[in-house]
Amino acid sequence: MNEFQYGIDQLTVSSALAIASGSLKGVLGKASREKVLSSQQHVQEIVNTNRTVYGVNTGFGILASASISDEDTRLLQHKILQSHSVGVGDPIPTEVARIMLITKMQALAQGFSGVQLETLERINWHIENDVIPVVPEKGSVGASGDLAPLSHLFLPLIGLGEVFYKGERLPSQKVLQQFNMHAIQLGPKEGLALINGTQFILSFAVKAVQRMHNCLEAADIIGAMSLEALTGTKAPFDERLHQLRPYAGSKLVAQRLRLLLHDSNIMQSHMDCGRVQDPYSLRCMPQVHGASRNAWLHLKELTEIELNSVTDNPIILAADDTISGGNFHGQPMALPLDYACFAAAEIGNIADRRCYLLLEGKWGLPMLLMKNVGLNSGFMIPQYTTAALVTENKTLCFPASADSIPTSLGQEDHVSMGSISGRKLNKVIDNLEYILAIELLSACQAIEFRRPLKSSAILEFAHDYVRKYVSFAEEDRIFANDINQIREIIHDFSFVGQVNSFASAGKSMLNEGYEQFELTSSSN
């Protein structure tokens, strides 16, 4: 198995996800160990020389002016994890908590935080043994870092809190005993270093980058299938048109649509039909999908900067050189997360409009995509669900980063609320996956009314892949079952993965020339 060296190698979205999945091993190499040991020695020297440094021998936040005695510097770090563990709500997904551990490893291993090597080794033990702390979803304002969720994340280090292990939710102490291990005694500054940071926001961003990329890829494929079913034209995807307004996202989507529709018999069958223009939800896919692609790219680029950043406070450069600043503030991630939230919601908006077009009974399709309607409601009601989900997403589009409520008696007088931005974006993507599933269900139904004509090889493959899970509907049935089946193949990345693999095998490189939009590319 390949290895990733924390604090030395550059972490990307794809490598963070690979470590989380177990396909890449994160290690503390010799160079990072030396940096960590040196930084920890600097902190110990600060304590020994009685030099006053925030968080080492002072209180926290509004209590920064309170001095802490030498003998209490370790107890102070233990207490900060206890006092700041105030999260509420359901636990976050274990994958997100695992990514939090990984991203904190990368930040601390750079050697500017003064933590013990033993502490980093224990965090990595949690990752490698899949002993994942229970982290409540709510309670962070994303300012002095994600204080509450990170406190819960690291309670197990001191033998407190809970973990998920082998499918069970257990007290941390019980699991440590199973491994014949003891709690760690935190050194000076360690508690603060553990909970100062943006790893909660960042880990939701990592998942959102992965999931939104999948939805954007799916939306192009599904949109092309809807266009085929509606006998739309590919003229608006002409490369010459998009060179005149050369946004990278628009150019990529237009290219993908051209390749997805290449050599379609359905497209050839109506070249001279006399229809002048298609509705915007068909004609403007490059502009709308492309704008969301641009927003995704911005989020990915900033996420990968954050993945390799030190977001602790204070920063330890040397025993006599420390900087107390604001690298823990979540605003650099909160804004792009909110922007991406709007972008994801818009993909749902335009997909819902295509669902509606498919039901109207125009251009040779039966009304509600079923021949015997009246007795049957056909595909009328699935579109009710897309309408509901689209509206729910609109309510989630209020930018959390536009709000700020002072905390710590005014010491922390501007906060980012980025933790809410990250959670909210993933909720929008949850809904988007269902919206796309309903459009795909409807497009597959509609395209069969064009038989015996065939679409392009890629889109026929996509249609056949869906038919492995859901059959053509001759009459009404419980469509929720179909929706859930198709949503699952979108959610688990198999639909996009299978279609992309088929396209590549046929020499159709859908994203060729736009490698920056690939999930596996690095902006570093």
Q: How far is CA 133 from CA 12, 149, 156, in A?
A: 23, 10, 7
314: helix, strand or coil = coil
- For residue 1, the 8-state DSSP code is -
Strands 3-5 and 25-27: parallel
- For residue 305, the 8-state DSSP code is H
For residues 269 and 490, the answer to whether their CB atoms sit within 8 Å is no
209 and 164 assigned to the same domain: no
239 and 289 assigned to the same domain: yes
10 and 102 assigned to the same domain: yes
Query: Is residue 449 a part of any domain in this protein?
Result: no
Query: Is residue 483 a part of any domain in this protein?
Result: no
Q: Whole-angstrom Cα distance, residue 202 to residue 334?
A: 9
CATH number at residue 90: 1.10.275.10
CATH number at residue 306: 1.20.200.10
- For residue 235, the 8-state DSSP code is G
Q: Whole-angstrom Cα distance, residue 498 to residue 362?
A: 31
77 and 132 assigned to the same domain: yes
Instruction: Pick out the chain residues at pLDDT < 50.
Output: 522-524
For residues 111 and 38, the answer to whether their CB atoms sit within 8 Å is yes
Residues β-bridged to residue 3: 25
Task: Spell out the residues 6+ positions from residue 188 whose beta carbon is closer than 8 angstroms to its own.
Answer: 43, 44, 46, 47, 56, 57, 73, 74, 76, 77, 114
141 and 173 assigned to the same domain: yes
Residue type, 120: L
Residue with token string 């994942």: 132
Query: Is residue 442 a part of any domain in this protein?
Result: no
Residue with token string 């870092």: 145
Q: Whole-angstrom Cα distance, residue 260 to residue 321?
A: 58
Q: How far is CA 487 from CA 305, 444, 480, in A?
A: 32, 14, 10
Q: What are phi and psi of 25, to 5 degrees?
A: -100, 125
In 3D, which of 208, 217, 118, 106 has the Cα closest to residue 419?
A: 208
136 and 267 assigned to the same domain: no
pLDDT of residue 27: 98
Q: Whole-angstrom Cα distance, residue 282 to residue 224?
A: 8
Q: Whole-angstrom Cα distance, residue 511 to residue 427?
A: 27
Question: How long, in residues, is the chain?
Answer: 524
For residues 145 and 195, the answer to whether their CB atoms sit within 8 Å is yes
The residues annotated with a catalytic role in the active site are: 54
As for how many domains the chain has, the answer is: 2
Query: Is residue 448 a part of any domain in this protein?
Result: no
Element (H, E) at 318: strand 315-318
189 and 285 assigned to the same domain: no
Write out 466-478 in H/E/C secondary structure: HHCCCCCCCCCCC
Q: Whole-angstrom Cα distance, residue 61 to residue 193?
A: 14
Residue with token string 């500017």: 112
In 3D, which of 239, 212, 153 has the Cα closest to residue 162?
A: 153
Q: What are phi and psi of 89, to 5 degrees?
A: 95, -175
Q: Domain boundary at 147, 168, 197, which?
A: 197
Q: Whole-angstrom Cα distance, residue 264 to residue 268?
A: 6
Q: What are phi and psi of 503, to 5 degrees?
A: -60, -45
pLDDT of residue 524: 36
Q: How far is CA 66 from CA 56, 85, 359, 392, 427, in A?
A: 11, 21, 68, 47, 41
Q: How far is CA 519 from CA 206, 209, 211, 466, 516, in A?
A: 11, 8, 10, 24, 8
pLDDT of residue 523: 39
Strands 315-318 and 162-165: unpaired
345 and 215 assigned to the same domain: yes
Q: Domain boundary at 437, 468, 499, which?
A: 437
Q: What are phi and psi of 171, to 5 degrees?
A: -60, 140
Query: Is residue 233 a part of any domain in this protein?
Result: yes
Query: Is residue 501 a part of any domain in this protein?
Result: no
Q: Whole-angstrom Cα distance, residue 305 to residue 109?
A: 16
The domain containing residue 41 runs over which residues?
3-197
Q: Whole-angstrom Cα distance, residue 48 to residue 233?
A: 75
179 and 222 assigned to the same domain: no
Q: Whole-angstrom Cα distance, residue 293 to residue 236?
A: 18
Copy the structure tokens of residue 282. Answer: 């068909």
What tens digit of pLDDT does each residue of 388-405 get?
Answer: 999 999 999 999 999 999
Query: Is residue 359 a part of any domain in this protein?
Result: yes
110 and 225 assigned to the same domain: no
Q: How far is CA 400 from the centre of its chain?
A: 17
429 and 304 assigned to the same domain: yes
194: helix, strand or coil = helix
Q: Domain boundary at 437, 454, 478, which?
A: 437
80 and 216 assigned to the same domain: no
Copy the structure tokens of residue 430. Answer: 């949850």
Query: Is residue 505 a part of any domain in this protein?
Result: no
pLDDT of residue 60: 67
pLDDT of residue 411: 82
What tens digit of pLDDT does each residue of 13-68 get?
Answer: 999 999 999 999 999 999 999 999 999 999 999 888 888 787 777 766 666 667 77
Distance linking the first and last C-alpha atoms of the chain: 23
